[in-house]
């Protein structure tokens, strides 16, 4: 049986680490390539729309760079992609987890699993989550990237940021999310999302700092 004092010690250590990360001054880490230059066409996918957020939304999210686009493939499959990059500098805010943001917008989570997809020999892990709002169901695929790490939960994200802050004096991070409307077959919708990840993950890696 684990002694209670060990939990308290862990909480104290995590609290000290979090205080250290949020009070010290880290340098802003820029993207390798502006997200505005992200490919508008890749393989069978073509951009069909792009959104720019208003000041109120930007004040909440506080990304250093971002993109919000819609894409469609040659078979008519559609999805939306959001990439939010936070450079870790004074004006950069924290990543807002879908687990808090989506329920706050009226979405109810029905299920959530962690999957992975092979991209040129590299296993890319991601969260697959189904949410419903009234009669609409959507599939959200998302993950976090911190330096060379691909992460699928908020605790790992915080740990990676603390580690990078200690070792490299940086706490930049990125959030990548795809959203697809579930018309009929949920598994087919998932496969469409994975096809998109295979096509665009190299471009995502080229844009984000390592």
pLDDT more than 70, % of the chain: 88
pLDDT in tens, 30-42: 999 999 999 999 8
3-state secondary structure the chain: CCCHHHHHHHHHHHHHHHHHHHHCCCCCCCCCCCHHHCCCEECCEEEEEECCCCHHHHHHHCCCEEEEEEEECCCCCEEEEEEEEECCCCCCCCCCCHHHHHHHCCCEEEEEEEEEEEECCEEEEEEEEEEEECCEEEEEEEEEEECCEEECCHHHHHHHHHHHHHHHCCCCEEEEEEEEECCCCHHHHHHHHHHHHHHHHHHHHHHCCC
Token reading at 173: 């991070």
Neighbours of 152 (CB within 10 A): 18
Gap between the Cα atoms of 133 and 107, Å rounded: 5
Q: What is the pLDDT of residues 139-183, one digit of tens each?
A: 999 999 998 899 999 999 999 988 888 888 888 999 999 999 998
Do residues 146 and 164 touch, judged by C-beta distance below 8 A? yes
pLDDT of residue 157: 93
End-to-end CA gap in the chain: 41
- For 100-145, what is each residue's pLDDT tens digit? 888 888 899 999 999 999 998 899 999 999 999 988 999 999 999 9
Give residue limits of the domains in the chain: 4-207
Compute CA 184 distance to the chain's CA centroid, rounded to the nearest angstrom.
Answer: 26
User: Can you read off the two tokens belonging to residue 96?
Assistant: 């807002």
């Amino acid at each position: 049986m684990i002694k209670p004092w060990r939990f308290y010690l862990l909480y104290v250590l995590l609290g000290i680490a979090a205080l250290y990360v949020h009070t010290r001054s880290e340098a802003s880490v820029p993207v390798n390539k502006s997200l505005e230059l992200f490919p508008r066409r890749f393989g069978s996918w073509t951009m069909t729309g792009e959104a720019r957020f208003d000041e109120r939304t930007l004040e909440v999210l506080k990304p250093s760079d971002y993109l919000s686009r819609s894409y469609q493939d040659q078979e008519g499959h559609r999805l939306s992609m959001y990439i939010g990059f936070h450079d870790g500098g004074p004006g950069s805010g924290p990543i807002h987890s879908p687990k808090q943001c989506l329920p706050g917008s009226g979405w109810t989570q029905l299920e959530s699993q962690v999957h992975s997809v092979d991209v040129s020999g590299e296993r890319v892990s991601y969260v697959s989550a189904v949410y419903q709002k009234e009669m609409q169901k959507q599939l959200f695929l998302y993950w976090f990237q911190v330096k060379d790490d691909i992460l699928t939960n908020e605790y790992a994200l915080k740990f990676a940021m603390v580690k990078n802050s200690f070792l490299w004096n940086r706490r930049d991070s990125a959030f990548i999310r795809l959203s697809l409307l579930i018309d009929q077959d949920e598994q087919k919708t998932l496969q469409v999302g994975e096809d998109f990840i295979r096509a665009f993950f190299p471009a995502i890696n080229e844009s984000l700092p390592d």
